[in-house]
A and B are shown apart, each in its own frame.
Chain A
Amino acid sequence: MAKRVAIVGTGQTFHTSHRPDVNGQELINEAVIRALNDADLQMKDIDAIVIGNMDHFEGINYVDCWSVDGSGGTMKPIIKLTTGGTTGCTVAIGGYHLVGSGMFDRVLIIGWEKNSESDTTGAITTAFDPIWDRLVFAGAISGLAAEAQAYMARYGATDRDAARVSVRDRKHALNNPHAHLRREVTLEQVLASPILADPIHLLDVCPRSDGACAVIMASEDVAEKICPQPDWILGTAARHSYSYLGDADYGRLTSMREGSQELWKKAGIREPRKELDVIELYQPYSFGGLIWIEDMGLVGPGEAPRYIWDGNTDMGGELPINPSGGVISCNPIGATGLIRCAEAALQVMGKAEYRQVPDVKLAFSSGFGGCWWTDMILHGRKKPH
């Protein structure tokens, strides 16, 4: 990169299942105003905008065009990126490239969604191949269920192991005023909740939320003037592994494995479990919290259940995961990946309030979606070399 890049401000709406009080443009504006206030900047200071959502969820396309009053994009360079569940992480990576290239000093990044305005599963289903995938596919949950089933068969894990992950994230959400769901649950409650698709229970999965998130990135020339402790981006990675759903290696997330290996190499990380201080994982269901941390190389194949049961990923544990409550507690899909990025930034900046992990030097955030696509960002307190 020509310039080093840092996050200097973040803003989120209060996410909930239904926001009939605002339209999309007004929802976007709430997050943008908060991010500008957080960085103590004005709209005129922003050089370019990256925005994204899952456009067919709202049945309105071209968000970059119709929302400029709310996004602040009037007469500014603005670009839309839409990559499915990963959208929120992709817009962040896009913003990082725009600033890192040296073309722009201050870029505003926006992710948002009003999931209440459509049937999410029906809409997600249209993201897959109409000839081969669409007949039987039932949105995100069906693919995830097939992944969970394969993982359980391969390593002998159980739905009780997964429930432990759900209990963790839902407990963490109590500390986050921005989380959509803030109610503690027990293992028994998760296991007694209705099965949506074997072996996934209702309380194993994320909700559908309305909400928006905005992040401001700045180049090294101005970042420290805007924010005394910015969140430096140490690296990003993205992997898209397959075309058709049947191409996947069920029970493993290849894109997570390859992307994180690239990221550890870029940043000189040898033992991610010991070197990372906190993780904001795009984990839309509890089983992902087992499978994907193995693919990240935090623990070996089949070892995640033990690691989670021992409390290592709880607040106060060796490596807390999802202090915000994660996707299981809040999921405005086009914003979800950017919320992970913003939450990791808050941790590095020391601004995460009740959900703060002490002394965070290195944080990881990710996005997940599409045909088993993963993208990710490594955040740090120290300016990279």
Chain B
Amino acid sequence: MVRPEQLIIASGDAVQPFAYSVGMHGSRFFTEIRDNCRFMAVRCPRCKKVYIPPRAVCGDCFVEMKEWVEVGPQGVIGTFTIIRFAFLDPETGRQKPVPYGYGFIKLDGADTLFQHYISVEEEKRLRIGARVAPVFSRERKGSIRDIEYFKVTD
């Protein structure tokens, strides 16, 4: 009888890195975050919805969007959760540190929600509707990590 563990071949530890395009709209967003700590969104000329992350096309209206709007930097928690279970972070191949809070934040002036970490230092203050503000990294490089997390302010 063969034991189950003898029937399995591991893939090895190799990692295959990828290089993703951010797009012109995404590039503008990250440049503004890096240089000015400003959140830039884009407005649909037809339905007037203000999108964040900014993107080239309104999916609902299927029209090009070019009108930039500054939103935030503060907002309210639209919804949130606190992740407490272990899983592998596909970006590092290692277990992601838990618990961590994250939420869908309605930045002032935006119509869609911006997804990011929310500090769980004071877990009890997290609630839908709570006001939050971003904490930016000191050394910003033009990526989503330039925002470290949001924290509850009220």
CB-based contact B112/A244 at 8 Å = yes
Query: Which chain A positions have C-beta within 8 A of B88?
Result: 119, 121-122
Q: In which size bucket is the chain A interface? A: 35 or more
Query: Which chain B positions have C-beta within 8 A of A59?
Result: 11
CB-based contact B81/A134 at 8 Å = no
Check A246/B114 contact, CB under 8 A, given A21-B7, A197-B84: yes
CB-based contact A149/B80 at 8 Å = yes
Query: Which chain A positions have C-beta within 8 A of B53?
Result: 131-132, 244, 246
CB-based contact B145/A135 at 8 Å = yes
In chain A, positions 242-299 with a C-beta closer than 8 Å to chain B are 242-248, 250-251
- Contact residue among A119, A132, A197 (Cβ-Cβ distance under 8 Å from B83): A197
Q: Kindly state whether residue A307 has any CB partner on chain B within 8 Å.
A: no
Stretch at the interface among A64-72, A140-148, A349-357: A140-148
Number of A-B contacts (CB under 8 A): 118
Stretch at the interface among B31-39, B89-97, B132-140: B89-97
A283 to B11, CA, bound (A): 32
Name which residue of chain A comes closest to B86, CB basis: A121
Check A146/B80 contact, CB under 8 A, given A244-B112, A246-B52: yes
Expressed in whole angstroms, the minimum distance between the Cβ of B48 and any Cβ of chain A is 16
A250 to B90, CA, bound (A): 25
CB-based contact A131/B79 at 8 Å = no
In chain B, positions 77-118 with a C-beta closer than 8 Å to chain A are 78-85, 87-91, 96, 100, 102-104, 112-117
CB-based contact A134/B104 at 8 Å = no
CB-based contact A197/B79 at 8 Å = no
Expressed in whole angstroms, the minimum distance between the Cβ of A207 and any Cβ of chain B is 13
CB-based contact A149/B87 at 8 Å = no
Q: Kindly state whether residue B55 has any CB partner on chain A within 8 Å.
A: yes
Q: Kindly state whether residue A20 has any CB partner on chain B within 8 Å.
A: yes
Q: Kindly state whether residue A38 has any CB partner on chain B within 8 Å.
A: no
A115 to B83, CA, bound (A): 21
Check A251/B7 contact, CB under 8 A, given A134-B91, A246-B104: no
Query: Which chain B positions have C-beta within 8 A of A18?
Result: 4
Query: Which chain A positions have C-beta within 8 A of B115?
Result: 132-133, 136-137, 244-246
Q: Kindly state whether residue B128 has any CB partner on chain A within 8 Å.
A: yes
CB-based contact A132/B4 at 8 Å = no
Q: Kindly state whether residue B62 has any CB partner on chain A within 8 Å.
A: no
Q: Kindly state whether residue B63 has any CB partner on chain A within 8 Å.
A: no
Query: Which chain B positions have C-beta within 8 A of A150?
Result: 78-79, 128
Query: Which chain A positions have C-beta within 8 A of B113?
Result: 246-248, 250
In chain A, positions 62-86 with a C-beta closer than 8 Å to chain B are none
Query: Which chain B positions have C-beta within 8 A of A194?
Result: 84-85
A172 to B4, CA, bound (A): 31
- Contact residue among A136, A195, A250 (Cβ-Cβ distance under 8 Å from B116): A136
CB-based contact A131/B90 at 8 Å = no
Name which residue of chain B comes closest to A120, CB basis: B87
Query: Which chain B positions have C-beta within 8 A of A243?
Result: 55, 59
A59 to B22, CA, bound (A): 25
Nearest 6 pairs between A and B by C-beta? Answer: A145-B81, A122-B88, A246-B113, A121-B87, A150-B79, A136-B102
A residues neighboring B (CB under 8 Å): 18, 20-21, 59, 119, 121-123, 125-126, 130-139, 141-142, 145-147, 149-150, 153, 194-200, 242-248, 250-251
Beyond A138-B85, A142-B102, list 8 extra A-B contacts (CB 8 Å).
Answer: A125-B89, A131-B53, A141-B85, A142-B83, A146-B79, A149-B81, A198-B81, A248-B113
